[in-house]
Structure 1
């Protein structure tokens, strides 16, 4: 998950140097047997390698960038570069997270970049999130938009092992534009994670991509 964030990121970098003790910069790297985005493979069911850098401030503000290989077939882009910024915090027993992410494909022949606003609310083991995709892509036959609703439940089991259940619903013109089907679909899955390792299964009700996806991955975080 560029132009919209330049002013914010510049201001953030100034604040970082003036109050470095209140900020944290981390990096991450990961590898997975598949890159699934809302239940749909972004690597033609092949392996993924990704990494990113994140900045966070004690006020709750955060910003970062993340990159991954992608494979949509043919002469389409070979990698994805995301920029994002947001604000997260807690209100009593509830947590919240609001922000914006820009999905870019710099080596694409035509512009297929898009942006997305999101907001999430969590309580204990349960999280609900709403995302709104905007920005029509080059060559689109309709003004593209998509609302994505998701619900995630995470439980700790067996010595700090996390078990997560997920269900999501994608709705809007973008669904028909991308997948050539109805303007909505559901994705769902379950994963188990411990010590950076993740094993999961995911599926959608799309006619064109309804196979059960099984994936394994490993991720690491570093302080900079």
Structure 2
């Protein structure tokens, strides 16, 4: 979902793999907020290499249904094409099938105050077994008709090798409907503290002009 920064808000995003698998839990609400030196989206910057502040609220029900909204600024540079905000309401349902946790979700990604406002929906199917997660996202209802039918595949895993210290990574494939696809990858480390979680993430794409992104962040939830 939104926040394709690793170890980020909803992971709106790859450590938990773009969705934080909700599963079946007691009814509860959670607020999250984070500050990151960049906004990673499928291995590239979505904020023009500018820092972002991101927040989210998610309410989960004991039946497995969940809903919420995430928001991010896109740039600190008022002259940047992406200056503005990204708002992502989402709904979904998570359940267990034996050892596999499954999740079905839909998110609506809107940037109402950027130059040339954009919007698109994404239907998401996710699955996780232990530390390994996989996800498929299908783009629909997009303002850019060329994006309709695009698919993003990703698989990732995480491991806590010391108390409170974890490494995680993901690889994916961005498959636009109208052109050849591109692989992307992310690798990160995070440290949980009483005040929140600090993280460092490396990300890039398999393109000749791709940037090597190194993103630091801090997030907390309550």
Shift of 1:136: 3.3
1:146 paired residue among 146, 150, 154: 150
1:199 aligns with 2:205: no
CA offsets 1:38-81 (integer angstroms, 9 cap, x no match): 11101111101011111110111000001001139645451100
1:106 paired residue among 100, 109, 112: 112
Shift of 1:85: 0.5
Higher gyration radius (CA): 1
Residue 120 of structure 1 corresponds to 126
Residue 211 of structure 1 corresponds to 211
CA offsets 1:187-216 (integer angstroms, 9 cap, x no match): 1121011211111101101233x1211011
- The answer to whether the 8 A contact 1:68-1:81 is kept is yes
Q: Which has the higher helix share?
A: 1
- The answer to whether the 8 A contact 2:47-2:82 is kept is no
Structure 1 runs, 4 residues or longer, greater than 2 Å off: 71-77, 108-111, 142-145
Q: Show the 5 A alignment for 1:52-71.
A: 52-71=56-75
Residue 161 of structure 1 corresponds to 165
SS at structure 2 position matched to 1:43: coil
Greater RCO (CA < 8 Å, at least 6 residues apart): 2
Structure 1 residue runs without a partner (length 5+): 2-21, 177-181
Q: Distance in 1 between matches of 2:126 and 2:152?
A: 12
SS at structure 2 position matched to 1:59: coil
Q: Distance in 2 between matches of 1:51 and 1:153?
A: 24
Shift of 1:88: 1.0
Q: Distance in 2 between matches of 1:191 and 1:94?
A: 24
Aligned residues: CA RMSD: 1.9
Residue 183 of structure 1 corresponds to 180
Shift of 1:111: 4.0
Q: Distance in 1 between matches of 2:220 and 2:82?
A: 29
Q: Distance in 2 between matches of 1:213 and 1:129?
A: 22
Q: Distance in 2 between matches of 1:40 and 1:97?
A: 25
Structure 2 residue runs without a partner (length 5+): 2-25
TM-score (norm 2): 0.80
- The answer to whether the 8 A contact 2:32-2:56 is kept is yes
TM-score (norm 1): 0.79
